[in-house]
Amino acid sequence: MDVINTCISLGRLDQAHDLLDEMHLAGVRTSSSLYDSLLKAYCKENRAGEVTSLLRDARKAGIQLDASCYEALIQFRVLEKDTPGALNLFKEMKEAKIPRGGHREFDMLVKGCTKGGEAYLMAKLLQEIQEGQNVDSGVHDWNNVIHFFCKKRLMQDAEKALKKMRSLGHAPNAQTFHSMVTGYAAIGGKYIEVTELWGEMKSFAFSSGMKFDPELLDAVLYTFVRGGFFVRANEVVELMEERKMFIDKYKYRTLFLKYHKTLYKGKAPKFQTESQLKKREAALTFKKWVGLC
């Protein structure tokens, strides 16, 4: 074993591989650490054929690789643009119940799917997360998954990912909300969904002091004005002004004129429900704010 380790440290990887093969043929049980070390060395030297061959040998010999080796293999597959191969390794690692020291394997898979634009693989990764063991991947990694789906306008998958993220005890943050809001805005018509997100955002803002950047709040405001949700739009304006954020009034004046030019131009009806009155007052308040009355 010392000889094999020495060969690996000197970069004589083929010799180390030959010695491993000889030991296996002689019936000598070898340590999993030797396979780990040689596999990682092959990955480092970008020797794809040898990685595949040695990995196959390790499986045949019943060798259980450690977490750091799986991490190196997954990273290698992602860099080789073999995301399906990386996903299979992740699944194998999960099924073997190998304890992971962090979230790097998951993070690399997410990045691999994102760079390759492989929506079906991201969906498979999400399925892996949902089935069997819970994969505690961290808020940052979940945000990568959600952002990917939102960018591809796969909002049902984004909603599933958000639901799973919450079930694992991770509270969404400003980045999560930003991806969801911009995703809904891109496909249009999802005003109720954005309203629900806004309610959650307000709750987080007051309970935990969560900070929202102007770009996110502007996206929420744009959605509400486009959809004619002026009660909510005024809430966003109030929050942005409280935090001294810039709001492009000209943009919103133009948007109002484009979609709501004739809204509430005549006299108010004699009989209005409380809800109708509230909506009218909110629209007129917004109209006044943008300088149209």
Is a pLDDT exceeding 50 seen at residue 132?
no
The whole-angstrom separation of Cα 102 and Cα 138 is 9
Give residue 259's pLDDT. 92
Query: How does pLDDT run across 22-39, given as a tens digit for each residue?
Result: 887 877 777 788 888 888
Q: What is the mean pLDDT of the chain?
A: 82
Q: Does 133 score more than 50 pLDDT? A: no
CA distances from 148 to 115, 180, 220, 264 (A): 10, 10, 19, 40
For the chain, the 3-state helix, strand and coil shares in percent, each to the nearest 5, are 70, 0, 30
Which whole number is the average pLDDT over 176-181?
94
Residue percentage of the chain with pLDDT more than 70: 84
Read off the pTM: 0.62
Could you tell me the pLDDT band of residue 127, with boundaries at 50, 70 and 90? low
Count the Cβ atoms, other than its own, within 10 Å of residue 194: 25
pLDDT tens profile 43-97 = 888 888 888 888 888 888 888 888 878 778 887 887 777 777 777 787 787 777 7
Neighbouring CB atoms inside 10 A of 197's CB total: 20
* Distance between CA atoms of residues 89 and 87, nearest Å: 5
Please provide residue 179's backbone torsions phi and psi, each rounded to the nearest 5 degrees: -60, -45
Q: Is the pLDDT of residue 116 over 80?
A: no
**Crossing angle (nearest 10°) for helices 104-116 and 119-130:** 150
Give the mean model confidence (pLDDT) for residues 156-160. Answer: 89
Tokens in use for 30? 């070898």
Instruction: Spell out the domains of the chain, with CATH numbers in brackets.
Output: 1-65 (no CATH), 67-170 (1.25.40), 191-293 (no CATH)
- What Cα–Cα distance (Å) separates residue 3 from each residue in 28, 34, 42? 15, 11, 17
